[in-house]
Amino acid sequence: MKKLCMATAALASLLALGACQSGSKSSAPVSNSGKSASLRAMEQVAIAAHRCWFASKDPAFKPYRMANELNAFGGTPRFLLVPANNYGGLPLLVVQARGNSGRVEHFGPLTSEPLGARINADLHRWSSGSSDCGSAA
């Protein structure tokens, strides 16, 4: 039994060392941080959206909640705006980046509402590298 425990511990150590090997196995270009272009773009946009729309308590976004899905297993980092009173409800806005370009796209019913012009301007500004909140509509 003692030999079995020692063998299991040795095998676990070898597996742990193997998991530490550097190098990405995906074909997507990555930076030194190991993040894809789409994830880096979405992190920047999601942080700005949270700070400018929600943490600032902007009244225009009070009816909504942000559902962050940056670590989605499908490889499409995104966040959603959903009704504040129905977190599991259908998204009213989807903001995502796909592929290796890091290009941010958005769609959903909120884009055709009066708030849509502001959302478009904010997302364009943030995906271009600015973290400025701009002015409220």
The 3-state DSSP class for residue 42 equals helix
CB 135 within 8 Å of CB 52: no
**For residue 116, what are the CA distances in angstroms to 46, 120, 121?**
17, 6, 9
pTM: 0.71
Query: What is the CB neighbour count within 10 angstroms for residue 75?
Result: 12
Cβ count within 10 A of residue 79: 22
Largest Cα span, the chain: 71
Per residue in 39-91, pLDDT (tens digit) is 888 999 999 999 999 999 999 999 999 998 887 667 789 999 999 999 888 99
The helix or strand, by DSSP H or E, that contains position 8, with its residue range, turns out to be: helix 2-19
> By three-state DSSP, how is residue 73 classified?
coil
pLDDT digits (tens, 9 = 90+) for 99-122: 787 899 999 999 999 999 999 999
